[in-house]
């Protein structure tokens, strides 16, 4: 982005973040469902689940909960963008000397900040529930980087939904399959405990590689090839979603 576009993005991001700060219930709502799932799995179902490891169940399942937190949060990006499109705000911005790309990037960066706050809240609750980690500062930085990349990839998918949806419900409903995806992965149970076809899908979908990488980083264990598989998935999804979002935006401008 040019200097002009960067300045516009900073201004519009400030506008979006102001709306979020004035309505913090969106961040709280985003964190409520993952926290409820943690309570359910740890205190009700966790005792009956054999993970095949010596770590506590909260340590095992937290990476998947963090991904669900982000998947829940990006629905608000599609919702806010859809309202801006329908309310005529985007058209007003277009009549001003504002870079068009800054409108989308403002929503994306707002999503990144809001979701990182939600993730922080969930981790804080997990610590109260007994989550413990031996991760080094570098491992924590890697965790933050992977979660940020995951947020960016899903947020650009949310941009596509926000630009293409016909209704408010349609704008946010696309996130439901993304929220469900961690349940068919290694997030809550080992994949080898699943039936054959389900296990194959779980082992070869992106969430498993991401979850296994985060789990290894939290435990300060070698990540192996999982991190490269996770990064390949994330960068691939991000590149494709970005290209499709820009194409959808250009169609809207015609």
State pLDDT tens for residues 137-181: 999 999 999 999 999 999 999 988 888 877 877 777 778 888 889
Q: What is the pTM of this model?
A: 0.88
The rounded mean pLDDT for the chain is 84
| pLDDT for the residue numbered 96 | 58
Question: Two tokens at 194?
Answer: 């699943």
Residue 164 CA: distances (Å) to CA of 87, 92, 179: 15, 19, 20
DSSP 146-185: HHHHHHHHHHHHHHHHHHH-SSHHHHHHTHHHHHHGGGGT
pLDDT tens per residue, range 77-121: 888 787 777 666 655 555 555 666 677 888 889 889 989 999 999
Cα gap 162→168, rounded to integer Å = 9
Q: Are 91 and 169 in contact (CB under 8 A)?
A: no
Q: Is the pLDDT of residue 13 over 70?
A: yes
Pull the structure tokens for residue 199.
């296990």
CA dihedral of 83, 243, 151, 104, whole degrees rounded to 10: -40
Domain residues of the chain, as ranges? 3-253
């Amino acid at each position: 982005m040019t200097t002009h576009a960067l300045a516009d993005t900073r201004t519009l991001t400030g506008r979006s973040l102001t709306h979020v700060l004035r309505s913090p219930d969106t961040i709280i709502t985003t964190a409520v469902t993952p926290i409820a799932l943690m309570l359910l799995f740890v205190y009700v179902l966790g005792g009956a689940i054999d993970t095949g490891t010596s770590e506590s169940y909260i340590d095992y399942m937290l990476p998947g909960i963090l991904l669900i937190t982000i998947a829940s949060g990006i629905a608000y990006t599609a919702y806010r963008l859809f309202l801006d499109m329908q309310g005529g705000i985007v058209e007003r911005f277009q009549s001003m000397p504002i870079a068009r790309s800054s409108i989308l990037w403002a929503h994306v960066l707002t999503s990144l900040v809001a979701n990182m706050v939600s993730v922080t809240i969930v981790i804080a609750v997990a610590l109260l529930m007994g989550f413990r980690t031996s991760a080094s500062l570098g491992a924590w930085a890697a965790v933050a980087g992977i979660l940020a990349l995951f947020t960016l990839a899903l947020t650009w998918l949310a941009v596509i939904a926000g630009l293409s949806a016909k209704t408010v419900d349609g704008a946010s409903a696309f996130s439901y399959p993304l929220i469900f995806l961690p349940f068919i992965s290694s997030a809550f149970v080992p994949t080898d405990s699943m039936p054959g076809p389900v296990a194959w899908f779980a082992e070869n979908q992106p969430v498993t590689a991401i979850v296994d990488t985060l789990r290894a980083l939290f435990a300060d264990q070698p990540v192996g090839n999982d991190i490269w598989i996770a990064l390949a998935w994330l960068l691939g999804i991000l590149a494709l979603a970005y290209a499709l979002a820009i194409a959808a935006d250009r169609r809207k401008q015609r």
